Structure 1
Amino acid sequence: MMNFLYQAITLVAIPLTIGIIPKAASSHAPLVIISQASSTDFYRRGDDFLENKDYKGAIEAYTQAIKLNPNFAEAYQSRCLARLQIGDYVAALVDCNDAIRIRPNDADAYRIRGTVRLNLKDIRATVADWQTAANLYNAQGDRKSFEYMMSRLKNVQQELQRIQQR
């Protein structure tokens, strides 16, 4: 019984709190409310929070999207970005790893994970991720993103050389 109550609270109260379900809908039976909020609804709400720099709200919304669809790579990636913004680098890394596990050819996921790793001071892993991102952008014909990654790679490789010379 407690497990059912927890699930009901998680699936009804949180969406209501973060504004996915209109307050008028709160008087309906939980099954009606649950069917109204999809993983995409939570994801879009998370994007709204992220755009408005409400990173904790974004994390909550993306978490709900992932609970409804555990293979929602974009939700993991966006939650990673929100966690990156608040400095929760370890959790951000886990989210990026999940996004890459689901979509291994997503150049943006490697680019973002490289940035997370840079914040974790793991320069070698940053270089590896950014090189993978650059290769994927190039293979996908995204010249602008490829050139951007090559520029970032050059800068971080110079930093790595300075560190190694010390």
Structure 2
Amino acid sequence: MEQIGIDRQIKKDVIKGILSETFKGCKIHYFDQGNTWEIEDEKQLDDDSICFSLIKNESEFPILIEITRTSDKNALERGQYLAKIISDQLNCKTITDYKKPYESLYCPSDSVIFDKGHAYFADDGNTMWADGEGEEVKIVKEIFLTNYKFDDKANLITSNS
């Protein structure tokens, strides 16, 4: 599962379009987690289906995009890949999980913010975004990330692929 915050309200059709264009080999379905708990076109779900939800968040990132039915393998990288695409295409700020490349363990308060083509390491500990209380997310410094690539079925493309 990938979770991406976005700094503005957004219509589900816009996100569905971005996901459909990015992962052309997958069927994209909206999952209404907030109200009905229904999956759009549920009868068409298959192994190549991805679901997404738009969830309200009381922070500087008022919409959380939650993506499910993707492989747990490379979820962190896929989240960063999508957060960058969404930020670039919609000219907005996005936030998602980050793990330092040399660290073996993921720290839950480490995030990456994408804004205007740049990536920033951010601390989201004790914030409205992550914890529902506290301050805004703190940008620590600009960072340069690996430019991950994924295929049409949402699988990481490696040099061995």
TM exceeds 0.5? no
Higher RCO, 1 vs 2 (CA within 8 Å, ≥6 residues apart)? 2
Question: If you compute each CA radius of gyration, which structure gives the higher value, 1 or 2?
Answer: 1
TM-score after normalising by structure 1: 0.28
**Structure with the higher strand share, 1 or 2:** 2
TM-score after normalising by structure 2: 0.28
